Amino acid sequence: MQKYSIFNLVKNAFSNHQNWDLAWKDPAPKEEYDVVIIGGGGHGLATAYYLAKEHNITKVAIIEKGWIGGGNVGRNTTIIRSNYMHDENGLFSEFGMDLWRKMSQDLNYNVMFSPRGIINLAHSDAQMNAYARRGNSMRLNGIDAVLLNREQVKEIIPMADFSDNVRFPIFGGLMQPSAGTARHDAVAWGYARQADSMGVDIIQNCEVIGFDVSAGKINGIRTSRGNIKAKKVGLCVAGSTNILAEKLNMTLPIETHLLQACVSEPIKPVLDNVVTFGAGHFYVSQSDKGEMVMGGDLDGYNSYAQRGNLPTLQHVLTEGIAMMPFLSKLKMLRTWGGIMDMSMDGSPIIDKTHIEGLYLNCGWCYGGFKATPASGWTFAHTIAQDRVHELNAGYSLNRFSTGHLIDEKGLGTKTWIS
Amino acid sequence: MLYINCPHCGMRSQNEFSYGGDASVKRPELNKEVSDQEWDNFVYNRKSLRGKHLELWQHISGCRQWIKVERDTATHEIFRTFKADEEVA
């Protein structure tokens, strides 16, 4: 594989950049693999990369129905954070933060990781107390957290509404300074390029039609491009999890819902951080191109549409304008939607299944993008060793039966309520 | 914007309704032995498929009745609506 470096950039400039290697190949599916990963999104690509890098398993195929990075890794708001209260979520995400910090060097691909900090705004004394508690829990797990009062928040984001006559006055906020954003497409492409260079076959435009299971053991998959034998199969298909689960006669604690996001026209730098509204569900950051990147609630009913509905967008942006009135002056550039695998406690599932050799990675809800490296790393471990790592031991499939839920937001089983 | 034909009030916009989830889920009978698996299926496990989906909505800013709606989860086409106690064939 050609290394991306200043020297290679200069060298290739002499041939007008016509002779760069392809970043990844386009192989036809082979008859058999050690591991088949279904889903060529961020998590699937990262899983294949860590299988090769950490576990020396390179007879791996990624099977993708469309094109790699065309699902949620290309449809998110690029936020990276580990500001969780519960140990399972905090430790898992903070492990991921370490991988994010090293990712550009590790992948030899600039993922533009930008640790610009995230601020969750509080709008009542009770919310300040809850944030103090969450911040303390985070610090006990080694995650940076700073409780800000109203004046400190005003110093950082003076453009927010600090006037007296507002419905949800800003009391303060909880900041994780090490949180940030990254270039989402680069994450998919970086993982794909490295995985490919280590021998992983990235097979696009290949739909999984069925599974070959006998005597409680997986033997392979049936696809639109022929049958593929595999000793182990990993499911990494986010919002399409239920479709594949049905082919396996499994019913999961997952519902598929639509989440929208949008960007405004680009403007000059105004917002340095990621900021979330505490009296509803709205978050905003500014991209390197200057667009305000915004998102919030699910559309609110089961959906596979991958496109949004206006009432929800209107509701979300109303919250945004309540928080930062200047947003009302901006024109909207693009809106889009992705289909989320909403789990019944808001936390993911990375586990083995009752079928030997079949592994499950799903339930990412609102937080799939930031989990990409940690999800890939732990899923690769789970597949390679046939046992869960301590980092994803809490993300078990049977926790819903045993009562060991990880309900970070206390929302219960109504996944569409925010 | 969805338009939902409330069986009590007629065609109204989505803004008047709130969502209640999969309507095909049945609470286990309380007067008989219920296994953990049956409770799991009632509380947590959902098919949530692409295509026709029978779901509950409440006409919260209208007649406040719960209704059943048969909707396509990919196209959002609404085929039929029912009163909450109507059996769906």
Residue A413 has a CB neighbour count (10 Å cut-off) of 19
Query: Which residue type, as a one-letter code, is found at position A374?
Result: A
The yes/no answer to whether this complex scores an ipTM above 0.85 is: yes
- Chain B residues in contact with A344 (beta carbon < 8 A): 43-44
Q: Are B21 and A416 inside 8 Å of each other by CB?
A: yes
Contact A406, B46 (CB under 8 A): no
| Beta strand A226-235 pairing with A292-302 | unpaired
Residue A286 has a CB neighbour count (10 Å cut-off) of 23
Among A253, A255, A304, beta carbon nearest to B50:
A304
Give A84's DSSP letter. Answer: -
Q: Residue B38, CB half-sphere, CA atoms under 13 Å: how many?
A: 9
- Chain A residues in contact with B17 (beta carbon < 8 A): none
Produce one character per residue of A370-408: b if its CB has 16 or more CB atoms within 10 Å, e if not. Answer: bbbbbbbbbbbbbbbeeebbebbbbbbbebbbeeebbeb
A364 CA: distance to closest CA in chain B (Å): 16
| Beta strand A254-264 pairing with A208-214 | unpaired
- The predicted model gives A238-252 an average pLDDT of 97
Q: Residue A40, CB half-sphere, CA atoms under 13 Å: how many?
A: 27
> To which residue do tokens 């989320």 refer?
A340
Q: Are A311 and B15 inside 8 Å of each other by CB?
A: yes
- The predicted model gives A43-55 an average pLDDT of 98
Q: Please list the rounded mean pLDDT of every run of 10 residues in chain B (89 residues).
A: 96 96 92 92 95 97 97 97 91
- Chain A residues in contact with B76 (beta carbon < 8 A): 303, 305, 309
B30 CA: distance to closest CA in chain A (Å): 19
Nearest of A173, A150, A179 to residue A83 by alpha carbon: A179
- Confidence tier at A417 by pLDDT (50, 70, 90): confident
Among B1, B18, B50, beta carbon nearest to A309:
B1
Q: Residue A340, CB half-sphere, CA atoms under 13 Å: how many?
A: 29
Assess whether pLDDT exceeds 70 at residue A418. Answer: no
Q: Are A401 and B1 inside 8 Å of each other by CB?
A: no
Among B18, B22, B74, beta carbon nearest to A304:
B74
The DSSP code sequence of A175-238 is EETT-EE--HHHHHHHHHHHHHHTT-EEE-S--EEEEEEETTEEEEEEETTEEEEEEEEEE--G
Q: What is the mean pLDDT of chain A?
A: 96
B residues 49-68 lying closer than 8 A (beta carbon) to A: 49-50, 53, 55
- The predicted model gives A341-348 an average pLDDT of 96
Q: Are B22 and A302 inside 8 Å of each other by CB?
A: yes
Helix (H, G, I), strand (E, B) or coil at A399: helix
Contact A209, A243 (CB under 8 A): no
| Beta strand A282-286 pairing with A274-277 | antiparallel
- Confidence tier at A410 by pLDDT (50, 70, 90): confident
pLDDT digits (tens, 9 = 90+) for A350-388: 999 999 999 999 999 999 999 999 999 999 999 999 999
Residue A249 has a CB neighbour count (10 Å cut-off) of 9
Question: Which token pair is A151?
Answer: 């004046």
pLDDT digits (tens, 9 = 90+) for A259-317: 999 999 999 999 999 999 999 999 999 999 999 999 999 999 999 998 889 999 999 99
Interface contact B42, partner A, CB < 8 A: no
Q: Are A416 and B48 inside 8 Å of each other by CB?
A: no
B66 CA: distance to closest CA in chain A (Å): 15
pLDDT digits (tens, 9 = 90+) for A166-225: 999 999 999 999 999 999 999 999 999 999 999 999 999 999 999 999 999 999 999 999
For chain A, the residues whose C-beta falls within 8 A of a C-beta of chain B are: 242-243, 246, 251-256, 300-305, 309-311, 344, 400-401, 413-414, 416
R_g of chain B, CA atoms, integer Å:
14
Domains of chain B: 3-25+40-83 (3.30.2270.10)
Query: What is the per-residue pLDDT for A187?
Result: 98
Q: Round to whole Å and give the CA distance between A25 and A22.
A: 7
Q: Are A302 and B47 inside 8 Å of each other by CB?
A: no
Edge-to-edge strand ranges of the sheet holding A172-176: A146-149, A172-176, A118-122, A274-277, A282-286, A292-302, A254-264, A332-343
Q: Are A400 and B22 inside 8 Å of each other by CB?
A: no
Size of interface A-B (CB pairs under 8 A): 71
Assess whether pLDDT exceeds 90 at residue A415. Answer: no
A276 CA: distance to closest CA in chain B (Å): 24
Query: Which residue type, as a one-letter code, is found at position A122?
Result: A
